[in-house]
Amino acid sequence: MMRTRQWAIVLGIYIVAGLVGAVALWWLTHALTPIFRPLKGANLWAAVGGSVAFWIGLMALLHRMPASVKKRVAVVVTFVSGLFYVLEFYLPKKSGIFFWRTHHTNPFSPMLDTVGVATLVITGFTLLLATFNLCLVHGKNIAARRTGYYNSVAFYLAFFAMATFGLWQNHAPTSKLFASKVTVAQVYGYLFNSTYVPLGSTLFSVLAFYMATAAFRAFRVRTAEAGFMMVAAFICMMGQVPLGMWLTHTLPLHGPLSHLRMESMANWVLGVFSMAGLRAVTFGIFVGALAMSLRIWLNLERGAFFEQEL
Amino acid sequence: MKLDWQFWSRRLIWLALAIATAVFLLVKVHARMYVSRPALDLYRAVEAVPPDKIIVISCNWEMGTYGENGPQTEALIRQCLKLGKRFAIFGWTWPPGPMLGQQIAERLQRPYHRRYGRDWVNWGFNTGGSPMIRGWAKNIPGTIKEDIFHKPIMSYPVMKGVNTARDVGLIIDITPSNTLITWIEFVYGIYRTPIGYACTGVMAPEAFPYYDAHQIVGVLKGLAGAAEYEQLLGYRGDALKRMPAQSSAHALIIALIVLGNVIYLRARRRGQAPGARLTTT
């Protein structure tokens, strides 16, 4: 009885908060929409300077706040942000409930672009934060001369080379490098195609070698299930390559015997057994994701990052 | 001196795999693929895009999966250029994707007498994930704004009449990541824009439930899918050239699994089964 009452109170708080949040959100996004219009010249720099000053001030203020206040701010921001997308997505495009609108349209839909731009800005901040963090970690490695610090030196060299030529070629791609005939875009192209591309490919291709040793050392047919898995793996691996197709190429392309062709069997395994299993797994994942999203949105989640009660 | 079998077996396997793939990359072997239904459906979906609509080639991949996604992108761009279908390169998960797509399109456009801006455009990379895609579907010029050369996208003739996801005839997501669900949820689900999927081999099984439900029009499964597409287009590209190497690598891995089990069974019969050990380094 007590628990039911508690849940009713929590639900009531969320309904009231949702209504207040919806009105506040609608007002806020309407008020902020002019900020996201393109600016030029002095207005642009004034806006950039003002934004930087405002955010530094806000961050400094938050920094001085006690942990409980910071958490409350995070909870409110998460709830209001999630609320916007819920209201925009679930409320109808046109309805009589929007009686104050000229065409009775969903008042949140026109703000989708503005909120999208805000999301882009926040993502930009997170990228900057990640870069700063990476530089800090590697900087500490070099300063303390930790084991393998030369890897951190390599990081700095690669980071600054790519960043310098990337930004330079973005700004002036045809400018010449130190009075030579080589353009900045060519240098960047060389760094990208001859360093970045092969390094990335090499890193991924190393997986194939580990997979081969793992297949030899770990794949043991101890049970009937493992036996089925091995048969399925054989059919799928062979059904995707010309060698496997060649093994059954004497069978006709049409008719009942065509189902015994390697590629037909591989497609059957993928399209029947594998698909049924994946449907079940995907369904489970998304039900879990829905529950998890609701828990985070409504601040019910506990555990890593959420362990302390407010 | 006792031979460290654990140490040397790993090195021998790596060497065998390197030789098995390298030999078939160097020696020219004519590989023939049987085109699967999902690849054929994607091919037909590209053909069926009306001239008043644009195709979006979503290059959500980077160098790590160049071996599979590179030939897929090349085959799809080649088909668009060949048929005169206007297309836009776009990326939102891996920053180098649109640049790699640009290199492929620039290389291929000349024989077909196509030109940047008139027949195709590159929208570049956009951050923001799913919320950005929602905004994009509703207002393409408002979300993308500029191409990779910092010019307004609507200043190009290829962008004529392209404003929302309804003006897109087909979106082909080329990716090793699980980005397909975002396209299905926020674009196909709302605007019914057809979605095609070209993924790495390991991601292919995940696409089949959506393909079976007709939420995506076709699937290219890794390098094999790209090879099937090359066969449909009637040219021998990187994918068909690499298929013999992939065949030998697959055969070697199957042989290793069998060999590993034979050793295991013999050891068990002698009463000294070592059990599976997952240490592979």
Q: What pLDDT sits at residue A20?
A: 77
Q: What pLDDT sits at residue B189?
A: 92
Among A190, A270, A286, pick the best mutation site for testing chain B contact (most B Cβ within 10 A).
A270
Among A267, A275, A282, pick the best mutation site for testing chain B contact (most B Cβ within 10 A).
A275
Distance, CA of B99 to CA of A189 (rounded, Å): 10
> Tokens 């930790």 — which residue?
A146
CB contact under 8 A, A219 and B261: yes
Distance, CA of A21 to CA of A80 (rounded, Å): 6
Shortest CA gap A125–chain B (Å): 11
Q: In which band, very low, low, confident or very high, does the pLDDT at B87 lie, cut at 50, 70 and 90?
A: very high
> How many structural domains are present in chain B?
1
- Which of A253, A25, A208 shows the shortest CA–CA distance to B253? A208
- Which of A219, A279, A38 shows the shortest CA–CA distance to B146? A38
| Sign of the CA dihedral running B57, B60, B62, B67 | negative
Does B259 touch chain A if contact means CB atoms closer than 8 Å? yes
Residue A141 lies in a domain: no
Looking at per-residue pLDDT, the higher value among A191 and B75 belongs to B75
Mean pLDDT score, A153-181: 86
Please check the confidence at residue A207 and state whether its pLDDT lies above 80.
yes
Burial class (CB in 10 A: 0-12, 13-18, 19+), B62: buried
Q: What pLDDT sits at residue A1?
A: 62
Distance, CA of B67 to CA of A197 (rounded, Å): 11
Residue B255 lies in a domain: no
Looking at per-residue pLDDT, the higher value among A39 and A69 belongs to A69
Residues from chain A that touch B39, judged by Cβ atoms under 8 A, are: none
CB contact under 8 A, A245 and B65: no
Picking from B138, B250, B280, the nearest residue to A214 by CB comes out as: B280
User: Strand order in B87-91's β-sheet?
Assistant: B120-125, B87-91, B54-59, B168-175, B195-199, B218-221
Residue A84 lies in a domain: yes
Residues from chain B that touch A212, judged by Cβ atoms under 8 A, are: 13-14, 16-17, 249, 252-253, 256
A residues 238-277 closer than 8 Å to B (CB): 238, 240-245, 253, 261, 263, 267, 270-271, 274-275
Residue A176 lies in a domain: no
CB contact under 8 A, A241 and B96: no
Are B16 and A209 contacting, i.e. CB atoms less than 8 angstroms apart? Answer: no
How crowded is the C-beta side of A222, counted as CA atoms within 13 Å?
9
Residue B166 lies in a domain: yes
Residues of the domain holding B160: 37-240
Q: What pLDDT sits at residue B171?
A: 97
Residue A191 lies in a domain: no
Indicate which CATH number applies to the domain containing B132. 3.40.50
- Please state whether beta strands B54-59 and B87-91 pair in parallel, antiparallel, or not at all (unpaired): parallel
Distance, CA of A12 to CA of A2 (rounded, Å): 15
Average pLDDT of chain B is 90
Q: In which band, very low, low, confident or very high, does the pLDDT at B219 lie, cut at 50, 70 and 90?
A: very high
Residues 6+ apart with CB under 8 A from B20: B245, B248, B249, B251, B252
Residue B208 lies in a domain: yes
> Tokens 């060299």 — which residue?
A157
How confident is the model over B157-189, as pLDDT tens digits? 999 999 999 999 999 999 998 899 999 999 999
C-beta neighbour count of A52 within 10 angstroms: 10
Q: In which band, very low, low, confident or very high, does the pLDDT at B114 lie, cut at 50, 70 and 90?
A: very high
Looking at the DSSP bridge assignments, the partners of residue A94 are: A105
Does A187 touch chain B if contact means CB atoms closer than 8 Å? no
Please check the confidence at residue A215 and state whether its pLDDT lies above 90.
no
How confident is the model over A108-124, as pLDDT tens digits? 887 777 777 777 778 77
Residue B279 lies in a domain: no
Exposure string (b/e) for B103-115, b if CB count within 10 Å is 16 or more?
A: bbbeebbeeeebe
Give B65's DSSP letter: G
Please check the confidence at residue B278 and state whether its pLDDT lies above 50.
no
Picking from B128, B250, B264, the nearest residue to A119 by CB comes out as: B128
Please check the confidence at residue B41 and state whether its pLDDT lies above 90.
yes
Overall size of chain A counted in residues: 310
Does B41 touch chain A if contact means CB atoms closer than 8 Å? no
How confident is the model over B117-165, as pLDDT tens digits? 999 999 999 887 888 898 899 899 988 989 998 899 999 999 999 999 9
C-beta neighbour count of A184 within 10 angstroms: 21
Cα separation values, B29 from A12, A104, A191, B236, B243, Å: 71, 66, 33, 11, 9
C-beta neighbour count of B239 within 10 angstroms: 28
Residue B261 lies in a domain: no
Nearest 10 degrees: Cα torsion B258, B260, B265, B268: -170
Residue B117 lies in a domain: yes
Does B281 touch chain A if contact means CB atoms closer than 8 Å? yes
Residue B258 lies in a domain: no
> How many structural domains are present in chain A?
2
B residues 131-160 closer than 8 Å to A (CB): 131-132, 134-135, 138-139, 142-143
Q: What pLDDT sits at residue B125?
A: 92
Distance, CA of A297 to CA of A84 (rounded, Å): 12
- What is the DSSP secondary-structure string of chain A? -HHHHHHHHHHHHHHHHHHHHHHHHHHHHHHHGGGGS---HHHHHHHHHHHHHHHHHHHHHHHHS-HHHHHHHHHHHHHHHHHHHHHHHHS-SB-TT-TTSTT-B-TTGGGHHHHHHHHHHHHHHHHHHHHHHHHHHHHHHHHTT-TTHHHHHHHHHHHHHHHHHHHHHHH-TT-BSTTSS-BHHHHHHHHIIIIIHHHHHHHHHHHHHHHHHHHHHH----SHHHHHHHHHHHHHHHHTSHHHHHHTTTS-SSSGGGGGSHHHHHHHIIIIIIHHHHHHHHHHHHHHHHHHHHHHHTT---STTT-S--
CB contact under 8 A, A201 and B277: no
Among B37, B182, B256, B257, pick the best mutation site for testing chain A contact (most A Cβ within 10 A).
B257
Out of A120, A141, A174, a domain closes at A120
Out of A120, A154, A185, a domain closes at A120
Residues of the domain holding A252: 238-310
Q: What is the pTM of this model?
A: 0.79
A residues 48-77 closer than 8 Å to B (CB): none
Q: In which band, very low, low, confident or very high, does the pLDDT at A204 lie, cut at 50, 70 and 90?
A: confident
Residue A223 lies in a domain: no
Residue A199 lies in a domain: no
Residue A95 lies in a domain: yes
Does B261 touch chain A if contact means CB atoms closer than 8 Å? yes
Residue type, A68: S
> Tokens 């950005």 — which residue?
B132
Rg (CA), chain B: 22
Does B253 touch chain A if contact means CB atoms closer than 8 Å? yes
CB contact under 8 A, B250 and A238: yes
Distance, CA of A176 to CA of A184 (rounded, Å): 6
Q: What pLDDT sits at residue A310?
A: 43
Picking from A116, A200, A220, the nearest residue to B64 by CB comes out as: A200
The region of weakest confidence among A28-32, A135-139, B231-235, B271-275 is: B271-275
C-beta neighbour count of B131 within 10 angstroms: 22
Q: What pLDDT sits at residue B273?
A: 60
| Sign of the CA dihedral running B87, B96, B175, B39 | positive
Out of A85, A104, A120, a domain closes at A120
Please check the confidence at residue A231 and state whether its pLDDT lies above 60.
yes
Residue B215 lies in a domain: yes
CB contact under 8 A, A212 and B253: yes
Q: What pLDDT sits at residue A308?
A: 54
Please check the confidence at residue B281 and state whether its pLDDT lies above 70.
no
